[in-house]
Structure 1
Amino acid sequence: MTTFEMLFTAGLVVAVGFIGLVAARRTGNGDWRIAGLIGAAFAGYSMIPILREGPTGFYPIHVVNFWGVQVWFDLALSLSCAVFLAAPRARCAGMALAPWLLLVLLGGSIGLLALLTRLFWLERNAPTQA
């Protein structure tokens, strides 16, 4: 098994496990510490291809064939759905959305995880209504 196959498999195992944990959870909102940890870890890993292959190294992969474009559409759709779901909560929490949406557009999942980290932190630390 190549390094890339091992990384692919590890990502699959982590995603399935995480989705299983989320599905089993009965109550509660997102935890800003988990979102922040995942975002920081992914940002750290992302530095490897950025430094080795450049900040636009993803582009050739997504324009080489139909699968590449399909994966690009899948990523764009997933980010769009996540923003669609998070935006109303972010507005209610008092977040100015424009800078966060720009971060999502420029940073993809890293930006989204930063947005969610801030959102979850604000929700957890909101003053209680008397």
Structure 2
Amino acid sequence: MLSIQYHDNRTISAGQFIDVLKRSTLAERRPVDDLDRINLMLKHGNILITAWDGDKLIGISRALSDFSFCCYLSDLAVDEAYQKQGIGKELIKRTHDVSGANTTLILLAAPKAVNYYPRIGMERNTECFIIPRAR
């Protein structure tokens, strides 16, 4: 049995963030070659939940919330070697706990993860609209 430790808003470096994104495959859809953007992502997210195996960062949930109505979970990444052990589900639960019971937790699923979220009890919603980013 793994002894995973979870932390709320523990500071991590851009390098640690990039590393776990790469080990999770989420790096395919994140600007991991743009250090300034990664630093801004870490600076302006207001909820950061991390999962650790000893000193190794193995999972992360980065979200933005108003702590009263909504919480957007922007990044959920778990090292592929640690997936299918409930770590992602726990990161989501802790993110929602921190954002508050009165918030709706919202996320846009990565194509590879679309079938994961309904399996852990999240509802699919088809009424999402976006304006794509320029880069």
Task: Determine if the TM-score, normalized by the shorter chain, exceeds 0.5.
Answer: no
* Structure with higher helix content: 1
**CA radius of gyration, larger in:** 1
The structure that is strand-richer by fraction is 2
Larger relative contact order, structure 1 or 2 (CA cutoff 8 Å, min sep 6): 1
Q: TM-score scaled by structure 1?
A: 0.29
